[in-house]
Amino acid sequence: MMICKVIGHVWATKKEEALNGLKLMVVQEVETNEKNGSTFVATDSVGAGIGERVLVVTGSTARRAVGSDDRPVDCAIVGIIDSLEVDREAAQQKKSR
Amino acid sequence: MMICKVIGHVWATKKEEALNGLKLMVVQEVETNEKNGSTFVATDSVGAGIGERVLVVTGSTARRAVGSDDRPVDCAIVGIIDSLEVDREAAQQKKSR
Amino acid sequence: MMICKVIGHVWATKKEEALNGLKLMVVQEVETNEKNGSTFVATDSVGAGIGERVLVVTGSTARRAVGSDDRPVDCAIVGIIDSLEVDREAAQQKKSR
Amino acid sequence: MMICKVIGHVWATKKEEALNGLKLMVVQEVETNEKNGSTFVATDSVGAGIGERVLVVTGSTARRAVGSDDRPVDCAIVGIIDSLEVDREAAQQKKSR
Amino acid sequence: MMICKVIGHVWATKKEEALNGLKLMVVQEVETNEKNGSTFVATDSVGAGIGERVLVVTGSTARRAVGSDDRPVDCAIVGIIDSLEVDREAAQQKKSR
């Protein structure tokens, strides 16, 4: 799963019928080591709001989050992050092989 | 889903039979933080035109958009974007962990 | 689908039996905005030749192009590009949001 | 599989029901040739601890590691690395074609 | 498929049971235009040795190479490259559109 932040909404009237009723949010990947991550459009079924950090799944897995394997969805918000604890020492320490 | 812009057409006479009848468009990823995104060829079943911003799905999900899981398609336009609203503050704000 | 160019051949005697009989070509992604794209090995069932631009699918979709879902193939040429028309204005114009 | 290091935990109360009971860890890709790899959230069913190097699978394969194909999981720790032996000569030697 | 070189071994005692009996090799992508490619862990069923160039498949396709769709494998060596012939002219020539 990617760690993303919800940064916007998107509206599309002309679309595949199987997308009807899905809420589409703009999410941006939040990387520990990069300034600005990539931007995607994800469906939301957990009620995420602008500015919240969320867990996002992609690919065939995203279809598991929208109730039907037939919907053309490849990016879905599956959780709202309450808290994220990173061990800075482990993260920054060079691998020693 | 990726946010893309339709930038062209592609024609291929010699191709897999299962691709017959599909409209093939050239799309370019539109990123918030990069100048020029990657370019792909996507099928279009929603009637997108040159210059329009569209929602594009990839991988196995693209086959959900072309009516049959047997067609060798891995990139499909599934919606035309009417409006896209990004909260600049949320997008640019550094993550605070 | 990726827009690629066929740049070579590859031979492998010791391989998974299910790959027998497949023609393996070296393809290179042709990006509008990058000098040199990534290089992959793709199966070819449409008769592509060195130097030709082709449409390439990846992932589970590639197995749709080789007749059986059991063959360990994740990259396949599915069409030879006759002509590709890109609207330079649409491609270079900055997104205006 | 990616070679990753476990660097943290993540908590999410509001999430897809099918994620209940899964342990979610923050993992960072450990690359031979890059300083800092990407960060992901992965499920853990092998008991990995902070600082340990692990094998991580992504995509549909991750669902094979969580007992059910219906869970919206696209990243999973499948092993704890005891030892990793890289032949520096093979790794650094330029390809000779 | 990716063109990779086998550069090492990896051992993991604590792992998903379904991985038992699989040989795990460290492979590095060999790109025509980049110095050092990414590093992955792949299963090997074709008997590849350190320093050999191999064909590697990823994603769901890798499970086709390990005998069972239930094994949590997303990267597999499927062939040992005997010879690879790249047309330098085709590879370096700028695309002319």
Predicted-complex ipTM score: 0.93
Q: Does B12 touch chain A (CB under 8 A)?
A: no
For residue B14, the chain C residues in CB contact (below 8 A) are 46-47, 79-80, 82
| Partner-chain contact B14 C47, CB within 8 Å | yes
For residue D28, the chain A residues in CB contact (below 8 A) are 32, 91
For residue C11, the chain E residues in CB contact (below 8 A) are 81-84
Could you tell me if E4 and E54 are in contact, meaning their C-beta atoms sit under 8 angstroms apart? Answer: yes
CB pairs under 8 A between B and C: 115
| Partner-chain contact B72 C57, CB within 8 Å | yes
Given this model, what pLDDT does residue A90 score? 86
Q: Which residues contact E26 (CB under 8 A, 6 or more apart)?
A: D3, D84, D85, D86, E6, E7, E8, E9, E10, E39, E40, E41
Q: Does D49 touch chain A (CB under 8 A)?
A: no
Tokens of D68: 């059910």
Report chain D's mean pLDDT, rounded to a whole number. Answer: 91
Q: Is the pLDDT of residue A94 over 90?
A: no
Q: Is the pLDDT of residue A49 over 90?
A: yes
Helix ranges (H only) for chain A are 60-63, 88-92
Q: Which CATH code, of 3.40.50.150, 2.40.50.220, 1.10.10.10, 3.30.465.10, is assigned to B2-92? A: 2.40.50.220
Chain B nearest-CA distance from C55, in A, is 8
- Position with higher pLDDT, B45 vs E91: B45
* 3-state SS record for chain C: CEEEEEEEEEECCCECHHHCCCCEEEEEECCCCCCCCCEEEEEECCCCCCCCEEEEEECHHHHCCCCCCCCCCCEEEEEECCEEEECHHHHHCCCCC
Q: Does A15 touch chain B (CB under 8 A)?
A: yes
**C2-12+21-84 maps to which CATH number?**
2.40.50.220
pLDDT grade, residue B88 (50/70/90)? confident
| Partner-chain contact E5 D33, CB within 8 Å | no
How are beta strands A2-11 and A24-29 bridged, if at all? Answer: antiparallel
Q: Which helix (H) or strand (E) covers residue A64, if one does?
A: none
How many CA atoms are closer than 13 Å to the CA of D19, on its beta-carbon side?
31
Window E:71-90, CB contacts with D under 8 Å: 71-75, 84, 86
**What distance in Å separates the CA atoms of residue D60 and residue D70, rounded to the nearest whole number?**
10
Q: Does A6 touch chain B (CB under 8 A)?
A: yes
Window A:53-72, CB contacts with B under 8 Å: 53, 59-60, 62-63, 69-72
- Position with higher pLDDT, A28 vs A94: A28
**What distance in Å separates the CA atoms of residue C15 and residue C11, rounded to the nearest whole number?**
10
**Percent of chain D scored above 70 by pLDDT?**
89
pTM: predicted TM-score of the whole model, two decimal places = 0.93
Q: Which residues contact C8 (CB under 8 A, 6 or more apart)?
A: C25, C26, C50, E84, E85, E86, E87, E90, E91
| Partner-chain contact E78 C9, CB within 8 Å | no
Backbone angles phi, psi at A65, to 5 degrees: -95, 0
**What distance in Å separates the CA atoms of residue A73 and residue A24, rounded to the nearest whole number?**
10
pLDDT grade, residue B87 (50/70/90)? very high
Q: Where are the domains of chain E?
A: 2-92
Q: Does E36 touch chain C (CB under 8 A)?
A: no
Please tell me the least confidently modeled range out of B47-51, D30-34, D39-43.
D30-34
Q: Does A17 touch chain D (CB under 8 A)?
A: no
Q: How many helices (H) and strands (E) does chain B have?
A: 2, 6
pLDDT tens digits, one per residue of E74-88: 999 999 999 999 998
Q: Does A47 touch chain B (CB under 8 A)?
A: no
**What distance in Å separates the CA atoms of residue B4 and residue B27, rounded to the nearest whole number?**
6
Q: Which residue in D66, D68, D85, D78 sits closest to D27, CA to CA?
A: D78
Given this model, what pLDDT does residue B95 score? 47
Q: How many helices (H) and strands (E) does chain E have?
A: 2, 6
Given this model, what pLDDT does residue D95 score? 47
Distances in whole angstroms, Cα of residue E73 to Cα of each of A63, B79, C87, E10, E55: 21, 34, 42, 14, 16
DSSP E77: E
Rg of chain B over CA atoms, in angstroms? 15
Q: Does B42 touch chain C (CB under 8 A)?
A: yes
For residue B87, the chain A residues in CB contact (below 8 A) are 7-8, 50-51
| Partner-chain contact A90 D7, CB within 8 Å | yes
| Partner-chain contact A87 D7, CB within 8 Å | yes
Q: Greatest CA separation found in chain E?
A: 54
Q: Does D50 touch chain A (CB under 8 A)?
A: yes
**What distance in Å separates the CA atoms of residue D91 and residue B28, rounded to the nearest whole number?**
35
Tokens of D50: 């902070």
Q: Which residue in C51, B56, E27, A31 sits closest to D84, CA to CA?
A: E27
For residue A71, the chain B residues in CB contact (below 8 A) are 64
pLDDT tens digits, one per residue of C55-82: 999 999 999 999 899 999 999 999 999 9
pLDDT tens digits, one per residue of B31-80: 755 566 889 999 999 999 999 999 999 999 999 999 899 999 999 999 99
pLDDT tens digits, one per residue of E43-55: 999 999 999 999 9
CB pairs under 8 A between D and E: 115
For E1-97, where are the E strands, in sequence order? Answer: 2-11, 24-29, 39-44, 53-58, 75-80, 83-86
Q: Is the pLDDT of residue A56 over 80?
A: yes
Tokens of E82: 């005997």
Per the DSSP assignment, residues forming a β-bridge with A39 are A28
